[in-house]
Every structure is written in structure tokens, then in C-alpha cells.
Amino acid sequence: MSNWIEVGQVNDIPKLGARVVKSLRGDIAVFRTADDEIFAIVDECPHSGGPLSQGIVHGKAVACPLHNWNIDLETGDVLDPDHGCTRVIEVAITDGLIRIFVEAEATGTHG
């Protein structure tokens, strides 16, 4: 059994944009920076739950669309002057294919 799940190609996500991966545990936001780096975090702003996937991506950060808190995509930490953090999900890229690491119970197994 593998916990690395294929979710799509790098080119499926616009540069400086994001797409959503729906999981049983809630949405995951997968981001692409200007340099084609890919990051994945739980799609929920620690402030009031805004969908981060819908925010504006800049550098390695995203601005929440609801109240403009900025979240570091590498660490999940909220950038100054606000505080908080959201969970980062591991990502691996092979030949343009994006895979994300999902904890076993996150997706459920059949034994």
C-alpha cells in the first residue's frame, strides 16, 4: 500500500495559481509558484477558515481571499503581523507528475 497519491500534472495548475484536491478529510490546496515549485497545504486559513486555494500566490506565500492573511507555503506558518499556522502536506514531483502524501487514515484503507 502506498500513501503517495497521484493528483495530476504540474501543467494542470496555472503559474501563480492553485487547484483543489478533494479528500475525505477535506480539501487540499495545491499551489504552483512562478518557478514551478509545487506546494500543498490544507485548504483552510487558520484565521477563519478561508479557502487558501482561492488566494493570490506571490513568492512562496498565498494571501487568504477572505481577510488577506499571508501564509508561507513551505512551512504553513502565517506571516507577520498575524499568527497561526496551517498543515503542510508533502509533495513529490516526477516528470511533471504531482503526488501528495496522505496519512493512511486520511483516505481510509480496506485492511
Partner 1 sequence: MQKLIVIGNGMAGMRAVEEILKRDANQFKITVFGAEPYGNYNRIMLSPVLSGEKTFEEIMINTPEWYAENDITLHVNAEVTEIDRENKIVKSANGIEESYDKLLIATGSEPFIIPVPGKDLDGVISFRDMNDIAAMEDAISKYENAVVIGGGLLGLEAAYGLQRRGMKATVIHLMDTLMERQLDPSAGALLKNELEGRGISVLTEANTKEIVGKDGRVTELHLADGRVIPADIVVMAVGIRPNVALAQASGLEVERGIVVNDQLLTSDEHIYSVGECVQHQGNVYGLVAPLYEMGKVLADHITGSDNAYQGSVTSTKLKVSGVDVFSAGDFSGGDDCEDVVLRDAARGIYKRVVLKDNKIQGAVLYGDTADGAWYFQMLKDEQDISDIRDLLIFGQAFASGGGASQDPIEAVAALPMDAEICGCNGVCKGDIVNAVNDKGLTTLDEVKAHTKASASCGTCAGLVENVLKATLGDAYSEVTVKPMCGCTEHTHDEVRAAIVEQELKTIPDVYQALEWKTPNGCSSCRPAMNYYLLCAWPGEYQDDTQSRFINERAHANIQKDGTYSVVPRMWGGLTNPKELRAIADAAEKFNVKTVKVTGGQRIDLFGIKKEDLPEIWADLNAAGMVSGHAYGKSLRTVKTCVGKEWCRFGTQMSMDLGVKLEKMAWGSYMPHKFKMAVSGCPRNCAEATIKDFGVICVDSGYQLSVAGNGGIHVRANDDLCLVKTEEEVLEYAGAYIQLYREEARYLERTAPWIERVGLEYVKSIVVDDEARRKELYARFTHSQSFWQDDPWAKAVNEEEAGAEFKPLAVMTAQAAE
Binding site for partner 1 (CB under 8 A): 1-3, 5-8, 12-17, 19-24, 30, 34-35, 46-51, 54-59, 63, 65-66, 68, 70, 80-85, 102, 104, 106-110
- Minimum distance from CB of 69 to partner 1 (Å)? 10
- Minimum distance from CB of 77 to partner 1 (Å)? 10
- Minimum distance from CB of 88 to partner 1 (Å)? 15
**CB neighbour class for 51 (10 Å; exposed up to 12, middle 13-18, buried from 19):** middle
Smaller CB separation from partner 1, 4 or 95 = 4
62 three-state secondary structure: strand
**Diameter of the chain by CA atoms?**
46
Give φ, ψ of 17 to 5 degrees: -135, -170
